[in-house]
Amino acid sequence: MLSSSQQQLLQVISQSGPSSRTVLAASMGLSKAAMSGIARDLISLGVLRETETIYGQGRPSILLDLHPEGAFFVGISLLEDPAPLVLSDFNGNIVARQTMPLSRDPDVIAEMIADTLPKLLAEHKAAGRKLSGLGIALSGFVDEKQANCVKSTLLGWQDVPLAGIIRQKTGIDTFIENDAKAVAVSEKLFGSARDIQNFSVVSFDNGIGCAHFVGGKLYRGNHGGAGEIAHCTIEPNGPPCRCGKRGCLDTVASLKAIKEMAKAEGLICQTLNDLETEASLGNAAAIRILHRAGSALGLAIAHLIQFNDPGLILITHAEGRFDGLFGTVMRQTAEANVLPRYAGQTPIRAKRVDGDVWARGAASIAAHSFLIGPNPY
């Protein structure tokens, strides 16, 4: 277990990148001698390392940075079958990968994780003695202690103490999190939002997820449901949703909804790219579908901008392109539905992610808990 001072130093370097002892001491409000003592202990633990020497006026400065092999984290996604397990280093890089069958039985999941972990760790010789946590990403609501799945429609769970079940079976500190929130933490620690205090991540896939960082911290809300834009009513009396309502954003703007609308129109489109191609050729049905979906997502994003005034809206997606008709309509609708003073003030960026995005996010949850301490939010 790291001390609070050690965690604080690692947090500063995680956010700012390689820094000199002088800069770190000033950032932490410590004397250079006190900060150097903390750094020395972390270097001896193998968590911190000295990197390049910077020459300028006065004495040269040696930069300190996180050691990539100073800590390792396991991330597991329970959103797909087979379920991926990844091993990430302290810089968020995936260094090993395995899969296991997905089960709805928490005890079976714990058994399979325990069985698969040795194979995963065997892929990287340094990981076994430096394994510092395990994260689980799932679709649903998670309590603020990152221990219990309050409800998951996908898995058919309610009040499942998943973290404790897995910890008991593996002996590893375990944390669980909602899928979109896990991706947001990954972007904050290792991705596009490292230096941004207020931002929202919108995950565009077969379902739409969302999570917010406010003041540099993940915002959960009173019941852990902050960011659930997928089930905001966007079309009153629209298509029925699995949640029991009608016209939810998920029923109009998700990748699954777009594909279903294309199929209903007799279009053979396996991907969003296929539909974009049809639209570019003048297919009226394809154009209509992309306008409808893009407008719905753009309106939801406009609401996010009005509510939170973020410094960035980051849309993660696995599709090959996000700059066609769908993305254009989405951005135009967002800009048209915010107050004039907000128009053009919030960057909306699309980021293509790979198939390990959820598992990588899960590993980031464990890394974040290692850096910040238990119950970091």
Phi, psi torsion values for 19, nearest 5 degrees: -145, 155
**CATH 1.10.10.10, the chain: domain bounds:** 4-66
Summarize the confidence of residues 166-195 as an average pLDDT: 94
Summarize the confidence of residues 78-102 as an average pLDDT: 96
Residue tagged 């079309």 (tokens): 235
Phi-psi region of 29 (alpha: psi -120 to 50; beta: other; left: phi over 0): left
- Checking 108-115 for CB contacts under 8 A at 24+ apart, the result is 109/78, 109/162, 109/165, 109/166, 110/165, 110/166, 110/168, 110/169, 110/170, 111/169, 113/76, 113/85, 113/166, 113/169, 113/170, 114/169, 114/170
pTM: 0.91
Write down the CATH superfamily of domain 72-186+357-372: ATPase, nucleotide binding domain (3.30.420.40)
Q: In this predicted structure, which of 53-62, 158-167, 241-250 has the lowest mean pLDDT?
A: 53-62
Nearest to 142 by CA among 155, 125, 127: 155
d(C-alpha 21, C-alpha 244), whole Å: 56
pLDDT number for residue 88? 97
231-245 burial, b at 16+ Cβ within 10 Å, e below that, comes to bbebbeebeebeeee
173-188 burial, b at 16+ Cβ within 10 Å, e below that, comes to bbbbbbbbbbbbbbbb
Count of positions (residues) in the chain: 377
Tell me: the pLDDT tens digits for 307-346?
A: 999 999 999 998 767 889 999 999 999 999 999 888 889 9
377/29: higher pLDDT: 29
Summarize the confidence of residues 52-64 as an average pLDDT: 77
d(C-alpha 317, C-alpha 209), whole Å: 11
The terminus-to-terminus CA distance of the chain in angstroms comes to 18
Instruction: Please say if the pLDDT value at position 150 is more than 80.
Output: yes
**CATH 3.30.420.40, the chain: domain bounds:** 72-186+357-372, 197-311+319-352
Instruction: Please say if the pLDDT value at position 225 is more than 90.
Output: no
**What is the CATH T-level fold of the domain 197-311+319-352, as seen in this structure?**
Nucleotidyltransferase; domain 5 (3.30.420)
Alpha helices in 17-141 (DSSP H): 21-28, 32-45, 106-122, 127-130
**Band (99; pLDDT cuts 50, 70, 90):** very high
Nearest to 104 by CA among 146, 139, 154, 142: 154
d(C-alpha 255, C-alpha 53), whole Å: 48
- 4-66 placed in CATH 3.40.50.2300: no
The full DSSP string for 232-284 is: SBSSTT-SB-TTS-BSBTHHHHSHHHHHHHHHHTT---SSHHHHHHHHHTT-H
- How far, in Å, are 126, 270, 319 from residue 273 at the CA level? 41, 8, 7
Summarize the confidence of residues 181-188 as an average pLDDT: 96
Name the residue type at position 53: T
pLDDT number for residue 3? 86
d(C-alpha 333, C-alpha 266), whole Å: 27
Q: What is the CA radius of gyration of the chain?
A: 22
Instruction: Please say if the pLDDT value at position 376 is more than 50.
Output: no
Summarize the confidence of residues 185-200 as an average pLDDT: 93
